Structure 1
């Protein structure tokens, strides 16, 4: 990478780290370290909530998803505004007013200790794996850029992030998130602008080409339990996912517990309700425009350079034959894209219809050769060949102007550091409050719990590094992190729904939680597999139904 790009990256990261640590100086009490003494303004909390989601996975995985699958992924967020409104009048005032450190503390008050412990354990497991996936995203970038082994890249990002989080606490995390959101927004707008300038056709023609390839389809009303990205999975399954993520996941709950009041906590969530979908659509549009860009510029047959090199060495004849076919298919597709752009500019409907058909045929030919190349990787390299996570890193480093490439990489790294730091802080909070202080040492000075919190942060950092070493091979990172979460989220949400039903008993909540997790496991590993968005609905519904049945059978009640 050019020294100018390195200067941008290093300068930005140094500024974020130094300023974050400066703001965290003097944090000597547990509440200050974990909750910033509940003193943060609503706009900073709101930006931190968004930044926790807008990780390097979004910058890499979502843009790559847009390049290969178009705008359909935006349906994933259709339930977000609904969830935020519901949470604003239910769990937010409920948990903020309870003056708890974690969401799971309340479950012991409402039910019993074992329900609290099991729910907190499921959070730790799900969020620990998700944190590892978030860490995998920048590791993918460095692996692609420098050819370093993935494990070294994970350590390169993970170790300094863990140290930063151990020293800084939630105060440093939140203010780093604010800066990260500003940088990411600037980087996204700059990349979109650059793409529109560099694509050699009009914006109208560019979007027409994307539409002809099916990349602009944002709505799919097909009723299906196996298709992930539909309107119904987004509005129903997405609502349940967002309710659980923002309402019961400690990584999000901890953000609004730092707000000064219930009103400011509500306002912080509404920032996501208003801005998340437009921002996500803009990120997906980057991927769509990268797809259009490569209609007119040669694109790699395999975006993962390491896999391309190893496949070429293992099967030179087969690889060479595929490369020759791919180059020819790219030329034919370029000619078809030019013809389609001219037909769009001329407004000739008949010519446009013929041009669309010709372009789709040539695009399918390119996709067919790429599929065979990916299959060759599977058979020769013996690693998963999905290279969607490498599309944007290759484009950024090979095509963006000097300085702007560094800005984008800095955005990816800052996003990763902020998201990982927030996740590690929440994991440490749940570990100390829900397990160590509850079961090991209930009474101790704040200084002791502060040291244990820092040790817990380091432990979860190492755990995340371990997960990250294989998460990058599981496909689209944005899908991987949500698959991990959806396996647990619905059942955890079901427990909190039961907590708001006065008749629900402790036995019902505990048995319901086990039943919900069992049901999700059955549909996840069964055949055909139900799309992960529906796991949230299934888990929540099963927990509530089984919990109320057990309550009625046992006849026991317990209310807060």
Structure 2
């Protein structure tokens, strides 16, 4: 039960974050200030911001719930991010900083043409609103409403019926988070975002580690952390494995060397939501250090997010119903944390909701204002005009996300919703960048074809399970049954197949109509491109640690 002290800590923490963020972002004058924090971010700000923007209630609801149901396999989403970040530091970031880009779609204009840039920008802007922004609002509002027990308060204070109270509590959460997070994003831009990320990310990591330690103490029955780990490992021996059967519905084993790399590489290397922090690095060396730092933290995150979901099942026993495992982490918090600390942890989680929302909001606004508005509506947009358009766009996108968030209620869970929708963008984007960077004679027509055909092919891969049931597909004939069987495979396999098909088609188009001369990207860099002298060593250390974790938890 939340106390007055918990609520005071929650409100005070969020007020502190907003105040520090706004103070840190004073004096922004041009698009580099607003969208890329003046291209002056240090490695520790980049690293913390990457992690804080990534972690949200999707982790503390979806991922912990998945771990409570299925075990450690879901940790692969965290652990494989580490080598992806190393790859970005070693190969992608030097190319992006040399191009001097503000956005990922902008790179495609220099490699292909402006139309290619616009197609990707439009896809990203739409799916940012439908996935990142709307799902954060949905899961954040659901989480906070349940933990704070807002529906019960509305029933007792205003006499609302239970269903009406649930709906009003959800809307209050959506619009409250949207308003609070967008205020300092509209005013402060990326610099406000990364400073809020620093505070909230630090609190979340410290609080999450504290919860894990307290859970182990409980499992150790007063005999210490080592005894707690032995009890936990013994009770979960069959679930402490990351490699599952090939047809596992969550993380099939073959996807670890195939399809899982598509969303991981897209998210950490080609997603404006994440890469905007690295594009804002003061130098290549600072950006690389920030990426390695974030990679190291990603290796530790399952200890804070995944394992506590499993610990909750053992700690709470029958008090955690099997059909309510998405509430495993909130239930564990209420069980373990005393007054004050509970409020602080809830503040950190609420802060992570706002971090993810304002990060996605700033990234989406940057794409709309620079890739679409400045390219097609007002090519002569001034520096101050770019900031003004960015702020207006931020407000409009925030409202759009608040309006769309309730629609997610109609889907089968927020995790399934995210999986279905991001697949439309990730595989086509990865295919275009892979071919564009490795094949300098690939024409713009090939990239445009992949970006337009990719979402349609993905739709065709998923649609049979939306149209038919298994029985209806069998009754419709062998072709329908085969299509249904393919569509029923894990979406990670669909992504891998789609990626291979699009790459093959792009190479075929290149063979038919290659560029007369290989494309050579101009050097537009505005920061020092000297790599960090120990970039190889630091990246190798992260890769080695990843291998060790997979060997231990195979």
Describe how 1:264-279 pairs up with structure 2 within 5 A.
Answer: 264-279=286-301
Structure 1 residue 276: Cα displacement: 0.4
Distance in 1, matches of 2:184 and 2:416, equals: 27
Structure 1 residue 452: Cα displacement: 0.9
Q: Which residue of 2 aligns with 1:223?
A: 246
CA contact (8 A) 1:487 1:532 kept: no
RMSD: 2.2
Distance in 2, matches of 1:281 and 1:477, equals: 23
Q: Which runs of 5+ in 1 are unaligned?
A: 302-366, 371-386
Structure 1 residue 537: Cα displacement: 2.3
Verify: 1:391 aligned to 2:328, yes or no.
yes
Structure 1 residue 46: Cα displacement: 1.4
Aligned equivalent of 2:311, options 289, 314, 322? 289
Q: Secondary structure at the match of 1:237?
A: coil
Verify: 1:519 aligned to 2:454, yes or no.
no
Structure 1 residue 79: Cα displacement: 3.0
Verify: 1:464 aligned to 2:464, yes or no.
no
CA contact (8 A) 1:133 1:472 kept: no
CA contact (8 A) 2:48 2:202 kept: no
Cα 1:472–1:271 change in 2 (3 A) is farther
Cα 1:516–1:124 change in 2 (3 A) is same
Q: Which residue of 2 aligns with 1:91?
A: 92
CA contact (8 A) 2:185 2:394 kept: yes
Structure 1 residue 410: Cα displacement: 0.5
Distance in 2, matches of 1:510 and 1:425, equals: 26
Cα 1:461–1:71 change in 2 (3 A) is same
Q: Which residue of 1 aligns with 2:349?
A: 412
Distance in 1, matches of 2:49 and 2:188, equals: 15
Distance in 2, matches of 1:98 and 1:418, equals: 28
Structure 1 residue 416: Cα displacement: 0.8
Cα 1:465–1:497 change in 2 (3 A) is same
Cα 1:549–1:525 change in 2 (3 A) is same
Describe how 1:235-274 pairs up with structure 2 within 5 A.
Answer: 235-274=257-296
Verify: 1:181 aligned to 2:208, yes or no.
no
Describe how 1:355-504 pairs up with structure 2 within 5 A.
Answer: 367=322, 370=323, 387-397=324-334, 400-471=337-408, 474=411, 477-478=414-415, 480-500=417-437, 501-504=439-442
TM-score calculated relative to the size of structure 1: 0.79
Q: 1:490-533 deviations in whole A, cap 9, x for unaligned?
A: 11111111211112011111112223222222222232323222
Structure 1 residue 187: Cα displacement: 1.0
Q: 1:347-391 deviations in whole A, cap 9, x for unaligned?
A: xxxxxxxxxxxxxxxxxxxx5xx5xxxxxxxxxxxxxxxx44333
Structure 1 residue 475: Cα displacement: 5.1
CA contact (8 A) 1:512 1:545 kept: no
Q: Which residue of 2 aligns with 1:152?
A: 172
Distance in 2, matches of 1:90 and 1:33, equals: 26
Structure 1 residue 421: Cα displacement: 0.7
Distance in 2, matches of 1:475 and 1:79, equals: 26
TM-score calculated relative to the size of structure 2: 0.80
Verify: 1:541 aligned to 2:500, yes or no.
yes
Cα 1:403–1:57 change in 2 (3 A) is same
Cα 1:46–1:557 change in 2 (3 A) is farther
Larger Rg: 1
**Count of residue pairs the alignment pairs up:** 472
Task: Judge which range, 71-80 or 154-163, deviates more.
Answer: 71-80
Verify: 1:211 aligned to 2:236, yes or no.
yes
Describe how 1:345-360 pairs up with structure 2 within 5 A.
Answer: none
Q: Which residue of 2 aligns with 1:234?
A: 256
Cα 1:556–1:47 change in 2 (3 A) is same
Distance in 1, matches of 2:280 and 2:57, equals: 24
Distance in 2, matches of 1:83 and 1:557, equals: 33
Distance in 1, matches of 2:290 and 2:229, equals: 37
Q: Secondary structure at the match of 1:442?
A: coil
Q: Which runs of 5+ in 2 are unaligned?
A: 152-165, 222-226, 465-483, 521-554
Distance in 2, matches of 1:475 and 1:4, equals: 36
CA contact (8 A) 2:273 2:360 kept: yes
Q: 1:265-320 deviations in whole A, cap 9, x for unaligned?
A: 1222112322203212431111111110122xx4154xxxxxxxxxxxxxxxxxxx
